[in-house]
């Protein structure tokens, strides 16, 4: 995959068939295999693109804050529609699914650069500047509040990227302490701290580690899951971009604990500049003698949401299409290159230095019973000050929303854990605390902690359509219920919105989602079936009001 | 140790390592499957083989779960049937599955599952139907992409069984399709037309071009025989139209040691010689520059007398024998024995050396 990426880079951002065949020959794989990989990932351009490839995030959070208007303006200004290239080959315009910039929306990606906090006026200026051949500076400012000062403690220090600065505030002390401990003791500590996976599943990291087979001759791999793609989620990038050594230290300790000699950071390809920052920080850490026990490799994804799934991510690192594997076997037994593998989210791994340094007991003082430690919540949508906020688990949603400047307009609904969790109506969030158990009790999930706030200007059927469009776009296409089920639900939602739907269509959507839940090969089926079903059943009257026949 | 499990209240034996689906099949219990094939293994893509396993949350695919001692499995209940119906309906609605016009009618596994579930036509229509895609560019194989259910059997077969490495999945999501090389039409690809993909296809997405319209499966007599082309001894079925006494299709016999269903392009598609007008049906003897028909007795006597006279005039080594790869080892053994013992020469060779 990196070879295909390099070929594209060297050829005006275009991946030609000749290059794909050539690479297939070099790596001794079939042409169809190479072409299959090249056409799976969205960042490979198998069609020629203009000098400036403008991509606008139109996914759910962006839709909430008016990305469509910006898209319309660009279309008008360039005289092309999304998916087209201008005649002078200067611009290609595309719609893109979630760019993990939900706190700084609307966002436009030009080639490899993010332009965040866009307005119509700024967009006009951007296009003018590009026409004049200049990539302007971008304003990527972001609201940050860190109450715990653990995961985001260095977020506002622009120098923290530097290892010396990181060490000044106690950095790498936890690693030194860890290296003097027995690996099993570290696993024990992490288990005791009961740090639950921050990527979305909420599975205890320590327990996951203890699934590794004992006395196995195969090498163990650690993968830091930095494929942040869950719509509404933009937390891991705060750590990686501004405090990369925190993650590296977390990886270094965790790898030592599980006896991995090689670790990967699988970072989504759109975060190219953050991958550069990580690579630089790894070099610094190596030079500083922190990584004598470990090699860390930054592996860039090439555009696929499903590669956030553990087994799809493994396939992707192995250079294949990002198709999730059938489980069992689980990665702890049969993971990367057929070896025991542990995959943890960036935020999870970043909790590890604190646990080692201060102890599991200190960690458990933060948060509430069953949900310990700090959590980064990202708030996007209809709030006055969207941003990322580090609070203890169990913090009332209302407190977080208040920090985010309060709701803009009249609150209608909230999606509290990234797009894959059931939506909550305004009255259901009244006393909601943001921890794993409270969210379950409220019939939703904490997920990734990506909070999307929806006011009463939003049509829930439109929101449901955006939701299903995202998952349909990201479905790997392997299994029938997901590949075809997304199409069925999408077609029915489109029909309803066009005024061509019936009440039976509403029932069909609910029934289909219900049947698909638990039926697919990987969790992506549940990820769309559960939220869409909740949107339709909780706001059924809105859907019914669209029925004309 | 006796290993047994319970499927639908029936106690059945199993071998370690077998999946629920394999155990069910071995014991005559019906669990539908579309992507699983004995040769290509589990894929867990179609999800139609879901069953309920006691102690496991949610439905499980029978093709991927290994049987365990005393495991209790239910193959049919409302939840399972609802799931299966949804899957069949989704497949029927998303492609062009019109059985009347399809070559696979009668042997189609999707049709079979739909029939067993009592689905005559899809319960819903999915809008935005794709445009038809039909690839008949190659000599022997027709790809009707609208009928493809993306089970992946053809890809597994192409890459793992015959190792021609032509097919793979391209694109993703709903756009996913089976591609030849870098999405070439089959006729321009590196495909050698062995037809393994057509043999494995559970539906009518990959079919044998020469057999189209030549007879429905239930009208044809299947005759098992050995491929006449080389000495490997591939087992195959001739599909014979008894009305015209024509072979209209050849498929590999699955389960045979030599080929387990796989055939080469000649074995699968080179059957026109059987009723060819140019085919020799009697021995021919050339007289005055022209061939005339002869009986076997006359021909053999003629050859024997020639051998004898050459031996007498010029010695045994003036005669040489060349054997054929198309006959069996035993026949080749007999031939060299004949050359050495009866003719009296070591001048014997085999066309495979050429």
Mutate which of B83, B85, B169 to disrupt the A interface (most A C-beta within 10 Å)?
Answer: B169
Task: Tell me which residue of B61, B123, B112 sits closest to B90, measured CA to CA.
Answer: B123
Chain A residues with CB under 8 Å of B91 CB are 480, 484
Please say whether the beta carbons of A98 and A470 come within 8 A. yes
- Which class is domain A367-455? alpha beta
DSSP H or E run through B155: helix B153-156
Separation in Å, CA of A106 to nearest CA in chain B:
26
CATH label of the domain that carries residue B54: 3.10.20.740
Separation in Å, CA of A477 to nearest CA in chain B:
4
pLDDT averages per 10-residue partition of chain B, 354 residues = 90 95 96 96 96 96 96 97 98 91 95 96 78 89 95 97 97 96 97 97 97 95 93 93 96 96 96 91 94 96 95 96 86 95 94 72
CB-based contact, B46 to chain A, within 8 Å: yes
| Contact (CB<8Å) A472/B171 | no
d(CA B174, CA B161): 27
Would you state the pLDDT for residue B213? 95
Task: Among B21, B56, B76, identify where a domain stops.
Answer: B76
Q: Where in chain A is the domain with CATH 3.40.50.11540?
A: 145-365
B325 occurs within a structural domain: yes
Q: Is the sign of the CA dihedral A534, A540, A542, A547 positive or negative?
A: positive
B87 occurs within a structural domain: no
Instruction: Output the CATH code of domain A145-365.
Output: 3.40.50.11540
Please say whether the beta carbons of A448 and A523 come within 8 A. no
Beta-carbon contacts of A350 under 8 Å, excluding residues fewer than 6 positions away, are A151, A239, A246, A247, A250
The pTM for the full model equals 0.93
**Burial letters for A490-508: b for 16+ Cβ neighbours within 10 Å, e otherwise?**
bbbbbebbeeebeeebbeb
Cis peptide before A100 (omega within 30 of 0): no
- Which class is domain A52-131? alpha beta
Chain A residues with CB under 8 Å of B190 CB are 31
d(CA A275, CA A439): 33
Q: How far is CA A220 from the centre of its chain?
A: 25
Tokens 């004992």 appear where? Answer: A214
What are A's interface residues with B at a Cβ cutoff of 8 A? 17, 20-21, 30-36, 39-40, 304, 321, 326, 472-481, 483-488, 491, 494-495, 508, 512, 515-516, 518-521
Task: Among B59, B76, B93, identify where a domain stops.
Answer: B76
B156 occurs within a structural domain: no
Would you state the pLDDT for residue A456? 96
Question: What value of ipTM does the predicted structure carry?
Answer: 0.93
Would you state the pLDDT for residue B131? 67
d(CA B161, CA A292): 45
Tell me which residue range forms the domain holding B320.
316-354
CB-based contact, B60 to chain A, within 8 Å: no
DSSP H or E run through B73: strand B72-74
Please say whether the beta carbons of B167 and B189 come within 8 A. no
B343 occurs within a structural domain: yes
CB-based contact, B168 to chain A, within 8 Å: yes
Structure token digits, residue B215:
């007879």
Please say whether the beta carbons of B230 and B270 come within 8 A. no
Instruction: Output the CATH code of domain A460-544.
Output: 1.20.1440.230
d(CA A312, CA A330): 12
Split into its structural domains, chain B has a count of 2
Task: Among B76, B94, B124, identify where a domain stops.
Answer: B76
**List of chain A residues with pLDDT < 70:** none
Would you state the pLDDT for residue B2? 74
Task: Tell me which residue of B215, B205, B281 sits closest to B243, measured CA to CA.
Answer: B215
d(CA A345, CA A187): 16
CB-based contact, B82 to chain A, within 8 Å: yes
| Contact (CB<8Å) A33/B165 | yes
Task: Tell me which residue of A377, A392, A397, A395 sits closest to A234, measured CA to CA.
Answer: A377
B274 occurs within a structural domain: no
Q: How many CA atoms lie within 13 A of A542 on its CB side?
A: 18
Chain B residues with CB under 8 Å of A40 CB are 171-172
d(CA B27, CA B46): 22
């Amino acid at each position: 995959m990196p070879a295909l990426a390099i070929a594209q880079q060297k050829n005006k951002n275009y991946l030609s068939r000749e290059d794909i065949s050539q690479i297939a020959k070099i790596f001794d794989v079939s042409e169809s295999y190479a072409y299959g990989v090249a056409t799976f990932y969205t960042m490979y351009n198998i069609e020629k693109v203009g000098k400036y490839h403008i991509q606008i995030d139109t996914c759910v959070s962006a839709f909430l804050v008016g990305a469509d208007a910006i898209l319309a303006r660009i279309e008008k200004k360039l005289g092309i529609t999304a998916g087209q290239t201008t005649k002078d080959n200067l611009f290609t315009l595309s719609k893109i699914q979630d760019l993990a910039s939900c706190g700084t929306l609307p966002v436009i990606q030009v080639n490899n650069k993010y332009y965040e906090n866009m307005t119509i006026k700024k967009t006009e200026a951007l296009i003018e500047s590009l026409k004049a051949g200049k990539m302007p500076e971008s304003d990527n400012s972001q609201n940050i509040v860190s109450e715990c000062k653990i995961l985001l403690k260095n977020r506002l220090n622009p120098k923290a990227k530097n290892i010396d600065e990181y060490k000044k505030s106690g950095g790498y002390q936890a690693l030194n302490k860890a290296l003097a401990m027995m690996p099993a003791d570290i696993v024990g500590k992490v288990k005791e701290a009961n740090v639950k996976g921050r990527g979305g599943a909420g599975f205890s990291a320590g327990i996951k580690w203890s699934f590794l087979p004992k006395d196995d001759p195969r090498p163990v791999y650690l993968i830091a899951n930095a494929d942040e793609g869950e719509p509404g989620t933009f937390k891991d990038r705060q750590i990686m971009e501004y405090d990369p050594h925190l993650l590296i230290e977390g990886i270094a300790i965790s790898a030592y604990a599980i006896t991995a000699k090689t670790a990967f950071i699988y970072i989504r390809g759109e975060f190219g500049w953050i991958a550069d920052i990580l690579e630089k920080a790894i070099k610094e850490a190596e030079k500083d003698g922190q990584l004598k026990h470990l090699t860390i490799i930054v592996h860039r994804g090439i555009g696929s949401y499903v590669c956030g799934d553990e087994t799809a991510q493994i396939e992707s690192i192995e250079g294949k299409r990002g198709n999730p594997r059938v489980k069992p076997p689980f990665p702890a037994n049969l993971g990367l290159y057929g070896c025991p593998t542990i995959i943890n989210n960036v935020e999870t791994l970043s909790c590890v230095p604190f646990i080692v340094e201060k102890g599991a007991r200190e960690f458990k003082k933060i948060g509430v019973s069953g949900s310990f430690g700090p959590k980064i919540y990202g708030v996007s949508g209809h709030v006055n000050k969207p941003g990322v906020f580090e609070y203890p688990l169990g913090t009332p949603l209302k407190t977080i929303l208040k920090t985010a400047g309060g709701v803009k307009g009249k609150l209608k609904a909230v999606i509290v854990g990234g797009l894959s969790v059931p939506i909550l109506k305004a009255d259901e969030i009244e006393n909601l605390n943001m921890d794993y158990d409270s969210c379950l009790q409220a019939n939703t999930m904490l997920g990734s902690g990506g909070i999307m706030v929806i006011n009463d200007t939003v049509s829930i059927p439109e929101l449901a359509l955006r939701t299903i469009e995202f998952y349909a776009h990201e479905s790997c296409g392997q299994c029938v219920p997901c590949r075809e089920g997304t199409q069925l639900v999408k077609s029915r939602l489109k029909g309803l919105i066009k005024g061509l739907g019936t009440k039976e269509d509403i029932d069909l959507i609910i029934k289909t989602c219900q049947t698909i839940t638990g039926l697919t090969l990987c969790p992506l089926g549940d990820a769309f079936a559960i939220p869409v079903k909740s949107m339709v059943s909780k706001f059924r009257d809105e859907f019914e009001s669209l029925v004309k026949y | 140790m006796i290993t047994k499990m319970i499927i639908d209240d029936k106690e059945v034996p199993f071998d370690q390592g077998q999946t629920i689906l394999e155990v069910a099949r071995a014991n005559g219990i019906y669990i539908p499957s579309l992507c699983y094939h004995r040769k290509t293994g589990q894929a867990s893509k179609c999800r139609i083989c879901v069953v309920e396993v006691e102690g496991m949350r949610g439905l499980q695919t029978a093709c991927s779960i290994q049987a365990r001692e005393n495991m209790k499995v239910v193959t049919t209940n409302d939840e399972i049937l609802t799931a299966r119906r949804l899957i069949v309906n989704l497949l029927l609605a998303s492609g062009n599955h019109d059985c009347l016009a399809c070559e696979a009618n009668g042997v189609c596994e999707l049709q079979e599952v739909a029939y067993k579930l009592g689905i005559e036509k899809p319960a819903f229509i999915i809008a935005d139907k794709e445009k038809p895609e039909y690839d008949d560019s190659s000599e022997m194989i027709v790809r009707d992409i609208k009928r493809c259910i993306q089970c992946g059997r053809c890809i597994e077969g192409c890459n793992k069984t015959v190792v021609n490495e032509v097919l793979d999945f391209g694109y993703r999501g709903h756009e996913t399709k089976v591609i030849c090389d870098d999405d070439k039409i089959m006729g321009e690809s590196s495909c050698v037309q062995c037809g393994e993909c057509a043999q494995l296809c559970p539906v009518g997405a990959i079919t044998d071009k020469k057999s189209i319209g030549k007879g429905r499966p239930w009208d044809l007599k299947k005759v098992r025989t050995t491929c006449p082309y080389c000495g490997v001894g591939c087992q195959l079925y001739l599909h014979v139209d008894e009305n015209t006494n024509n072979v209209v299709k050849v498929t590999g016999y699955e389960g045979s040691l030599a080929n387990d269903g796989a055939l080469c392009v000649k074995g699968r598609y080179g059957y026109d010689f059987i009723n060819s007008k140019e085919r020799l049906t009697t021995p021919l003897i050339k007289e005055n520059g022209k061939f005339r028909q002869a009986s076997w007795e006359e021909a053999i006597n003629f050859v024997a007398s020639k051998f004898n006279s050459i031996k007498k005039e010029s010695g045994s080594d003036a005669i040489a024998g060349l054997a054929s790869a198309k006959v069996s080892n035993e026949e080749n053994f007999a031939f060299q024995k004949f050359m050495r013992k009866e003719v009296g020469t070591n001048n014997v060779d085999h066309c495979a050396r050429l």
